[in-house]
Amino acid sequence: MSGDIRKEVDGSKGRYVLTQDGAEAELTFSIASPSLVIADHTAVPDAFRGTGAGLKLVERLVADAKSDGFKIIPLCPFVNAQRAKHPDWADAFNV
């Protein structure tokens, strides 16, 4: 899976977006406080199925949490499932 993930923030809402061939995969989030971000939803269109796009979006969220010093509340079932599969990410989550 190639392609750059961009982060878009508008007030207390935001998303990570991966675009390829006109299709967008996204992970949306809400900023609860400077130290807490709620991962709301991950949407991966059929064009991205099987490419690891969803995982790439979660990896970027986790990397940003670690570098920027915030914790993630994994409201999104996909993000929560990835958290459970990656115990090395435990320090990035507030569960």
pTM score, two decimals? 0.94
60-94 pLDDT, tens digit each: 999 999 999 999 999 999 999 999 999 999 999 99
Helix/strand number for the chain, H first, E second = 2, 5
Quote the tokens at residue 93: 């989550």
Enclosing domain of residue 46: 5-92
Q: Where are the beta strands (DSSP E) in the chain?
A: 5-10, 13-20, 23-33, 36-43, 71-74
- Residue 76 to residue 70: CA distance in whole angstroms: 17
Give the CATH number for residue 74. 3.40.630.30
Quote the tokens at residue 39: 């991962």
Domain count, the chain: 1
12-61 pLDDT, tens digit each: 999 999 998 889 999 999 999 999 999 999 999 998 988 999 999 999 99
